[in-house]
Amino acid sequence: MLYSDEVLEHFRNPRNMGEIEDADGVGDVGNPVCGDMMRLTIKVDPETERIVDVRFQTFGCGAAIATSSIITELVKGKTVREALEVSNKTVVEKLGGLPPVKMHCSLLAEQGLVAALEDYFRRHPEKQAPPELQEKARRLRNVDPHGPGEKSAQVDEEDSDE
């Protein structure tokens, strides 16, 4: 199984690893049966709704660690709405690709981000959650990252009706 230089770099030198103790949102995702588990914690500026810090803890393979690392880099400094534009496809592209059997790791990263954002809005009911967050969460809940065929782990906006 060949990994890109970018995947290897993020596996060997993961960025933003750890946990934010007083996080505004926490996303716990994964499947303990397959072994990939991820916790993504975010700190959001209440005035600008900009993600000012993001950390991850991942138990899994090198690809799971690399996708967790890259998604933190992709969303740090973005507003909540901008972060919602990051998909598993974005993660794969930024990493220079993933082997087909590891595509589920990119979905784990996207699911972790969405779960952390959902938790942020649950903790802050005075904030209005963007409608696209609810749609994305619904779509991701209906996808089995380890389901039959490679397509199951390659969800993006174009697949929202499936």
Query: Which residues are catalytically annotated?
Result: 34, 105
DSSP secondary structure string for all residues of the chain: ----HHHHHHHHS-SSBS--TT-SEEEEEEETTTTEEEEEEEEE-TTT-BEEEEEEEEES-HHHHHHHHHHHHHHTT-BHHHHTT--HHHHHHHTT---GGGHHHHHHHHHHHHHHHHHHHHH-TTS---HHHHHHHHHHHT--TTSSSGGGG---GGGTT-
